[in-house]
Amino acid sequence: MKGKNLFINELVELFPSLEEELLDEDNSDSITFQMGTFRRFMQAAIDENDRSKFNSMVYFLTKNLPLVDKRIQNAIYINFLGKLDFSKNPSLRKLLGGSLGKAYSDIENYHNYRPY
């Protein structure tokens, strides 16, 4: 099982521009804050239609999701995926792929559920 420190270090290795914010002493103890940083980074890629950066992030998450512990998985789903907005580039949503795409749809359906 991959722990938070290894996961974040690999993320920083792939996206060095995130290092300062991800490893900042105010953020480094909280995977929730770190996933918020990563979400803003991915949201910028979505808004700018940067498919290369977007695909790199999707690949990283798809590869790592089954390897990380439940706490990290929950942060990825709730603090990351659950807060992405594809309204500027809806075509990118399809590039989430199987597991991330399904999780995004499940979260979206949950937020849109109105029993009455």
Residue pLDDT, tens place only, 89-102:
999 999 998 888 88
**pLDDT 10s digits, 30-74:** 999 999 999 999 999 999 999 999 999 999 999 999 999 999 999
Q: What is the pLDDT of residue 34?
A: 94
pLDDT, position 30: 92
* DSSP-H helix ranges across 1-116: 4-14, 19-22, 31-47, 51-64, 70-75, 90-93, 97-112
Q: Which of 52, 79, 76, 81 is nearest to 65 (CA)?
A: 76
What is residue 21's predicted lDDT score, i.e. its pLDDT?
Answer: 92
* More confident site: 107 or 60: 60
